[in-house]
Structure 1
Amino acid sequence: MRNSAPLLVLGLLLVAAALAIFALSRGSDYDRSPLGNKGLELWLQAKGIPVVRSDPHIVRASSEISLRILSLPISEGEVAAPTGDGEKGDVGLENWVSNASNQELPTLIIMPKWRASVLTDGIARQSDLVDLSLIQGELSKTDFSNIRLQRGWPGFEEDQVGLSREQLRKISLFHAQTFDRASLPEGCQEILGISSGSLIVRCEGNEYVDLLSDPDLLNNHGLALAENAAFAVSLINHLRVKDETGPVYLDTSGAPLDDVKPKDEGRSYERSASDLKRFFAYPLSVIWGTLILVAAICFWRGAYRFGPPLREASANIEMSKTAAIEATARLLRLSGNDGRMTGQFVLHLLADKAQQFFGPGAGNEAGIERLFQRLARRDQATAKALHSSAQALIDRGHVMTRADLHRNLEIFRKSLGSIDLGSR
């Protein structure tokens, strides 16, 4: 169970990271889908037309925008359309038309066409088209109530269109959705159209509002067809009649715009991988360097002092030997046999010294005798004193008085410490 706890914590962290990534990316899923408008944003920017998106943290003013583009919402879950962040405010065709007229802001309102099932299935079928009666219900709330939508045959419809004869482009639309020219009331004019009907309509009294019948003319899917992408640039430039230097505003929230931008407005920033460099700039670089240096010293000191890790088996053997020695010494002390314990200590110490010089097989009487012969060649007097005291402690330590035991042990200690055990 203890080993499973770290794995459980790691699993929870991975799940939390996955949820965070999903939460951050799902807002742009529609924008990058075939029915989104991320391609339009990138394409316009590549052609030198600035583009901004709606952001709940930024207040936009109509005076700084050259064109506002909105997608008409029908009902939640019914139509595939971008969703904004935060509060929606007054969302709806009637409010957008009123705001555009009051602020004299050119506004392009795009009619819906596809249901949300297209995004999940990945296939555009005739059954995935939005019911025209739903769109007509929204149009009936405004001055565009008499304008009727219609759809062509189930397939691609191509036509040569242009805002002038010098700028004709071939566009292609799948299940083309247009306004019925016969239904256009007096005072409404066609800005753009194909053989089957009108694509963009503008009416008197709402000169700043243009209605686009088919969203495939500007979405990611439509821009990849025929010359739709090239035509989209000329169309956007034509609709930006108020201020050609201002950005195009892709509005996914539908919230009303202010006339003037507040001076003390906060800002939203886009983060990128390059922002990580700030974590290593001065004085943070000094802190990171210090932490790395301290960690390196601690690692080196630990490896140098304790050496490589011992194998588990040898560690257990050393622990068993230590425990056995301590247990034997305790039993001898409890029984009052200090002399016997001292004799065993001396014998084991000499055996360890003999093994140190002559190998593992020298820990016996012959090895100890050989050790004394080696020590005698270096210092005969000291070696003799060491031999006599050691022999006395080993043979008669258990019968010695406490005074004799301490005296012989002191002689043994001093003699052993005064002899050079190095090799010749």
Structure 2
Amino acid sequence: MSASTAHDAGFNPRLIGGVIVIGIIAFIALWALIALGPQLSTGKDGGGHALSKAAPGYAAIVDLLERAGADVELRRQVEPPQYDDYTQLAILTPTVRTRPEEMTELLEAQGKAPVLIILPKWYTPPTPGKAPKPGWAGPGIPGMPPSRLLPPAIFGEVDLQTHEGSQPGSVRADLAGRTVDVAVPANGITVTGDAIETLIAHPAGGAILARVKERDLYILADPDLINNLAFASRDKARAAVSLIDAIAEDAAADGLAFDLTLNGFGGGRSLLRFAFVPPFIGITLCLIAAGLLALWQAWIRFGPSLKPQRAIPVSKAALIANSADLIKQARRELDGADAFVHSQRSAIARRLHAPAGLDSAATDAWIDKHLPPGSDLFSALARRLPLARNTHEFLADAQALHAIRKDLLRDS
């Protein structure tokens, strides 16, 4: 087998590294999209909310209000921001699938801030046999909004009615000290109740726009007054903006906030979402960077590879070290005192050519004669070392003997 064939059969490190990097990026992006998907959605689903450009949506009035200089916010969280000297009119656009507990939670979260509830009217099922177009609504079927969207604990007992067969018309009403012309749509929906008061009445009876008596909670029973369908003509568009402006002025609001949480575009509470939003996004980025650095360190070797070494090195120093370790593990350090003294005595006597035939005591006395005055005597250390009671005393006397040998023999 040639060298080129063997190389082609192996893995390409760059290719494998690229696959790993792409996999890591895709994994992080997947979790980020799962956490932030509702907030990143464009809202092109044909529904009745502030992002929708279909007939039941409210994107047209949002755009027109922004062009007119109004302060408009698309709110994606249940808890509104709190300001001391700034009030927003929260505009809720529930659907027929909105649960009462969702409405109650959202209304309680607003506190004392004014709220406008726009009830749903149109059912837009998909056309049978046709694929839905992105952002388009299906055929519109007018229907009665469910009364559960107005919780009795807040609105009391309310009655919703549909005036089927009613023709489009115009109603003039006084609201917030101004005269408002309202274009009443066909098949209008009205609301009545003991706990609410009528602000704009329908010609056939009931209220198109009502308000709770004890709180700034407004109910717009028919959404065709301000949705995209109302922007079929210039006059209806002007009337829609005037109506919203009058409601905001009546509520003493400084800005408008269209809620998107009831339509599925809010950022819910979750640990996964918190990891990708301030202030925890910094910790997430640090963890990602640490993981990438650890992967890079594992992938790239710094310096030459370490050669495996012998478990027991081959040298005199290694032999001495191993012997010392064995003596230490056996706790027999003090047993070598006599041997150490004998080795030091023999080395000094041999190197200094001591007279032959001397015993140990005579040799120690002969060595003492070669020591400078005032220094420790070799004979005293030789007698004291075997009597050491612990390793500290043994080490001190052994070092003193070694120092005498080094001074006399001029070596280490």
Task: Give the TM-score of the pair, scaled to structure 2.
Answer: 0.45
Between Structure 1 and Structure 2, which shows a larger proportion of helix residues?
Answer: 1
Task: Give the TM-score of the pair, scaled to structure 1.
Answer: 0.43
